[in-house]
Amino acid sequence: MEEKTLTDGTVWLDRPDSSDIDAIVDACQDPAITEWVTVPSPYGRADAEEFVGTTVADGWEGRSPVWAIRPAERGRLIGTIGLGTRPRDETAAEIGFWLAAEHRKQGLVSRAVSLVCDFGFDPAGMGLIRIQWRAFAGNHASAAVARGNGFRYEGSARLGGLQRGIRRDFWVAARLNTDPPGPADGWPVSIGCP
């Protein structure tokens, strides 16, 4: 698929490249990232090279784009966000993201999710009907981002995910192209989303 840079003037999303490897390695030393994201642990330079050289490259060649999250045009990578599709269903994708610790709680990942959803649903973008979010149970920060961007809670999958050989519960929510983008109702209070 054709590469697309997305921006709202506060965050810039573009394709990560080899110049981002050091920033990816630095960020992925954060225990919170390795707790909630299915990245290798410990995370080394070879992992970042594989991510940029294979995951990102294959994603853009197919219909699973991955963007760097940046605080300025061609600024330092502070996170990543992507839409993963399945080969036999080009109308749905799963969103995934992470952000370096020092940039959290500033609304940057929420802005990135909004941009990616707009692109995903746009017929001139990916023309998706459904974007799914899932996170390991307990990832309240990610749940707040999803809820704030219109994802509706659909439930949990008991031991539904595998991370480094350990089965874990995960939460599931989704947004359809017909759902409004603002905060979604119906999230359990236990997740921290009234």
Q: Rounded mean pLDDT of the chain? A: 94
DSSP one-letter string for 61-101? HTT--EEEEESSTT----EEEEEEEETTEEEEEEEEEEE-G
CB 140 within 8 A of CB 192: yes
What span, in angstroms and rounded, lies between the C-alpha atoms of 27 and 49? 14
Torsion region of 66: left, alpha or beta (phi above 0 gives left; psi -120 to 50 gives alpha):
beta
Domain ranges of the chain: 6-191
CB 140 within 8 A of CB 147: no
What mean pLDDT do residues 20-48 have? 94
What mean pLDDT do residues 124-136 have? 96
pLDDT reading at 126 higher than 90: yes
pLDDT reading at 114 higher than 70: yes
**Residue range 6-191 in CATH 2.40.110.20:** no
What mean pLDDT do residues 8-16 have? 97
What is the DSSP code (8-state) at residue 37?
S
What mean pLDDT do residues 5-9 have? 97
Band of residue 52 on the pLDDT scale cut at 50, 70, 90: very high
Adjacent-strand bridge partners of 31: none
The pLDDT tens digits of the residues spanning 17-28 come to 999 999 999 999
The pLDDT tens digits of the residues spanning 60-75 come to 999 999 999 999 998 9
Residue 34, SS3 per DSSP = helix
What mean pLDDT do residues 12-16 have? 97
What span, in angstroms and rounded, lies between the C-alpha atoms of 109 and 102? 12
Burial 68-99 (b: 16+ CB within 10 A, else e): bbbeeeeeebbbbbbbbbeeeeeebbbbbbbb
The pLDDT tens digits of the residues spanning 68-106 come to 999 999 899 999 999 998 878 899 999 999 999 999 999
At position 45, the amino acid (one-letter code) is R
The pLDDT tens digits of the residues spanning 157-193 come to 999 988 888 899 999 999 999 999 899 998 988 886 5
